Structure 1
């Protein structure tokens, strides 16, 4: 288990508890009382740290290397029923954007999301979760296929942004994202969107227009990352914590601003601390959202979706 800087007090107590148990196993000394005392301190420390997280600390948790990614969620939720589909039928298959058909119980869904890597090799293979235009065009192709067969769409957002390379711009990165946003507003099947990690900029919004938009508790959703915001405003990354606070990018901020509809609770310490519990919560949230949407006509779905986004923001005539 890897620990973030603010989690070091927890690591020290967990190490103490482990050593105490080893001493008890290797000797005849009764360490039960000592272990109990350490466990009480550990629980108190966990509660104190995780219940008072700053926006920047939540950003760090959303990037935790042990945090489950899109394919982890899909495989846990769908089991062997998931069938991945490839290619945009124009240029190539983007490995940073994955999608395919899967079932939760007896209900089929079209799952689409950004996929990050677990080590240097797979991170390069997945382009660090940053999709090229062909990734967004693949996503749109799958959404249109789902619409044709009346299958609801689930999108899982976890990206530091769309790939900003020269070749991506040459192939129409901006147009691909804009096209997806337009087509998703008028897609005639339910769309359920969940932020499971980082939700950065147009890279996330390119598959983020939904009838129901949800966020896991320790995720963020913003037009720009705290580091990039800091580098623009202060010409340095040193002010990323202040930027994270000012951007109002946490799930609680998004819920208060009515950008998202619901926050999915995570296990204490983050999604990586209890993956199975997280997967169950996400699965239940998808089914709960689908129950609300499944009986709406295509016309009502599109109308309510358009109205939902038209109501966002504050303006004066």
Structure 2
């Protein structure tokens, strides 16, 4: 592939997929696919230290970033907020600057507050790169990348013909926002968003989408269904009448999935609330790409680390 000028300019940080030029996004997906196909460069980050700076719990994101960095030859420092000086009152900025002073130039940051990673990036020294591993409800760009990689593997690179349904708690989902940014950039032809009104954002997040509270209508003929976790830890009480009611109205079952195209695929960023947003037979069924997403997370994060940190 001929490298486009937009994808040749060094990327200082990856904070969001919003406004990321299409050539850059495609270049990252192409490189991630090479890693998924078995390409390995143990020397790309040799001699470099990378820190997973997580102020929120994580399983998939932290471990896949750790594995991705190790496969590129980096030394990995794992920061645990619960056992660090943050428990004594140290600010996130001071934590970053302290670790940066040790010679660490790559930071993978997860934080509960919107905009926290961008604020840390603004405080970082020149030459230090930050990757947003999820901040509040704002963005989770590498999840968006791995989701697009998984979709592209299953459905090809012509996103203009795709019908995609995103279902559930969009209001509190940084994953949904990054997926929507990426789908728009890649030219997805039909993006449908479905959920109860109380769990849908009232800003520009849903611009260009078909929005409905009717799950059956949203699933009609779609090529991909992207289910979202009900994020009870981020929502006020009363936004959902009951978990049983939510499952009845917005849970994906095998019977409901039959409304989608015969070869439709199912994605979920995890962790799943089985029996609430998705049933076992769908999560573990032949149309599920959920574990493929996990595998692709390593490849997508290798591509990002290489793009930001490789000399």
Please say which structure displays the higher CA radius of gyration.
1
Normalising by structure 1, report the TM-score.
Answer: 0.32
Higher relative contact order (CA 8 A, sep 6+): 2
Normalising by structure 2, report the TM-score.
Answer: 0.33
